[in-house]
Amino acid sequence: MTKVLIVDDEPQILRALRINLRARGYEIEVAGDGASALRVASAYHPDVLVLDLGLPDMDGIDVIRGLRGWSAVPIVVLSGRTGSEDKVQALDAGADDYVTKPFGVDELLARIRAVTRRHAATPDARSVVQIGRYRVDIANHQVSDVSGGGDVRLTPTEWQLLGALVRNPGKLVTHRQLLREIWGPQYATETNYLRQYMAQLRRKLEDDAAHPRQLLTEPGMGYRFVRSPDIPAQ
C-alpha cells in the first residue's frame, strides 16, 4: 500500500484528499504546517508527499529544502500559486511535480502514480554510506555495525542532519543552510543547535568523537561529510 503524506493548512482539502485517496487504496497521513510535515515525514517514511506551499509557519519551499536534506521522497506540490516563478522555485528546490489549485483528484492521482514510478526506477545511490565501522542507510533509517556490534538508533533530527551532509559528500554545508532546512528559517542563527546534534552524531558514529575523520567541522562556516577512503558508498 502506497503511503501518502498530505501537507495543507486547509481542513477541507485534507478531509477531501484523505477520503478520496483512502477509497483508492492509499494509506494516508496528514500535517497542517511545515514543522509537523518534517516531523511526520521523518517518523512515517511516506512513499510520496503532497505539499501546499502556503503554510502558516514556514514557506513550503523551505519544507522541500528541509526534506531534501535527508530524503529523496517524491514531492508533488499542490498549490494555489500559479506563477511560473513559484513553479520554478519549487522544482529547483527539489519538488518532482507541480499541480495548481483548483485541481481534479484524478489528475492528482495520475501525478502521484507517475512520480512514484520514476522514483522506484531511480534509487538514490548515495543513500547508503560507511562511517567508521557503521553502515548507514539514509533511506531506511538504519545504522548497522559491520563489526558485529549492536545497531545504533538516531533521533529524527539526527537523521535530518546526517542526511543533509551525506547527500552533499565532500561539500561544505553551511550553518545557515542546515538550520533553515532542519529547524526552519526562524532558527537561521541558532548554531548552538548544530553543535549539540553534531556532537551527538560523532559520539554515536565516529570511532573517536574528539578527532572525527568523516563528520568534519569547518570553523565558522559549517560542516562537511567525507566518504570513507576504504569503503565506497553502495
pLDDT in tens, 53-68: 999 999 999 999 888 8
What's the rounded Cα separation, in Å, for the pair 67 and 225?
A: 18
Please check the confidence at residue 163 and state whether its pLDDT lies above 90.
Answer: no
Of the ranges 11-15, 37-41, 138-142, the best mean pLDDT one: 11-15
* Residue 218 grid cell: 569547518
In this prediction, residue 121 carries a pLDDT of 58
| 225 vs 168, more confident | 225
Q: Which of the four pLDDT bands, split at 50, 70 and 90, describes residue 148?
A: confident
pTM, full prediction: 0.59
Please check the confidence at residue 147 and state whether its pLDDT lies above 50.
Answer: yes
